[in-house]
Amino acid sequence: MGLLFPYGFVPVTHALVTRWHWRAFVTGGGSAFWLLAYGLFYWVSRLSLDSFSSVVLYLGYLFLLVILDFLVTGQLSRLVLLFH
């Protein structure tokens, strides 16, 4: 029984070792979700965009900014944990 006990943890530790990159990336990119929430809140509560093209431009640039923020902060978080 003592010989089989360590081998039960090999798949678990392998899964934890291979998935930390994605976990760090998504955790670091979490600020993008707050940016998206605030951008949508600001659009609904403060902006008065009259034309459809203004709304499409605002939301398009907001989504581009959110994607850029997610990629940059996620990659920074992953690199910090990689070289820590």
| pLDDT reported for residue 42 | 97
pTM over 0.85: no
Task: With beta carbons less than 8 A apart as the criterion, state whether 28 and 74 touch.
Answer: yes
Identify how many contiguous H helices and E strands the chain contains and give both numbers: 3, 0
Confidence band for 3, pLDDT divided at 50, 70 and 90: low
The string of pLDDT tens digits covering residues 47-76 is 999 999 999 999 999 999 999 999 999 999
Query: Phi and psi dihedrals of 46, rounded to 5?
Result: -110, -35
User: 40: Cβ–Cβ under 8 A, 6 or more apart, which residues?
Assistant: 62
Whether residue 82 is predicted with pLDDT greater than 60 in this model: the reply is yes
